[in-house]
Structure 1
């Protein structure tokens, strides 16, 4: 793992646990085991680092939902919550913290949410055997809601959303 990857990994853990604003550069340099000069040389700024963190997280998450059914989607989201923790969506939390005013963060969030929406539409189309825009949007809302409800309900929120999603899919068959 090179220095930039190590920094990204350390930063993701800190940003996810403490938030973007509360994570200072001193904590980042300490966690990555590098000087602030080296940190800035490799990533440029805290906002650029957060953009990198979000892009890396997006790749991992999207790989985790390479599935062919709505049921498998919610299973994968449940696995993600168990592995990553139930703190809600890092993308939306970072956007809320910065008020959408940090271009690197806003761009990463927009890219992720666009890809996530597209992926859900693909999963629904494969599962049903045809496109269903309305159902895909309903599944999207259930998936997003389950991620946030998991903050206070744990993975049980994902299980409840999974049950509701399966009922919706069966009603559309």
Structure 2
């Protein structure tokens, strides 16, 4: 693993475990096994590092999603929780911690959420044979709720949300 990849991976773990604002650059350097100077050389600012972490997390999650059916999204979430844990959505956590005051961070969050919305819309179209923005929006809310509730309900939250999404698709959202 190259230096930047290592830095991003170790920073993601630190941010996920301890939060963005509570994790200083010195702690990130120690976790990555590098000097502060090396960290700044490869990361730039803390904001740049946070954006890089979010972009990497986005890529890793969507690489696991088979974009053909909605169930695949929930299956990917279940695997993610097994492998990564369940502490809520890192994207929404950073938005909450920063208050959206950092434009680069807010843009990274919006990119991820737009990608999720478009992915679900494509899945709905593939499964139902038609575009249905309302149905897609409802499924996104179920997915987001499952991410949040999995912090205290575990996989039950994912199974419940997936079943509700399946029922919405079968019935066709009015």
Residues 150 and 156 of structure 1 are in contact (CA less than 8 Å); yes or no, is this contact kept in structure 2?
A: yes
Residues 88 and 151 of structure 1 are in contact (CA less than 8 Å); yes or no, is this contact kept in structure 2?
A: yes
Taking only aligned residues, the RMSD between alpha carbons, in angstroms, comes to 1.2
Map of 1:102 onto structure 2 = 102
Using the size of structure 1 for normalisation, the TM-score is 0.96
- CA–CA separation in structure 2 for the residues paired with 1:149 and 1:44: 34
Residues 74 and 143 of structure 2 are in contact (CA less than 8 Å); yes or no, is this contact kept in structure 1?
A: yes
Map of 2:68 onto structure 1 = 68
Map of 1:53 onto structure 2 = 53
Correspondence list, 1:24-63, <5 A:
24-63=24-63
* Structure 1 runs not aligned, ≥5 long: none
- CA–CA separation in structure 1 for the residues paired with 2:84 and 2:67: 19
* Structure 2 runs not aligned, ≥5 long: none
How many residues are matched?
A: 173
Find runs of 4+ consecutive structure 1 residues off by over 6 angstroms: none
- SS of the aligned residue for 1:159 comes to helix
- CA–CA separation in structure 2 for the residues paired with 1:67 and 1:83: 20
Q: CA deviation at 1:66?
A: 2.7
- CA–CA separation in structure 2 for the residues paired with 1:50 and 1:9: 11
Q: CA deviation at 1:80?
A: 1.3
Map of 2:112 onto structure 1 = 112
Q: CA deviation at 1:67?
A: 2.8
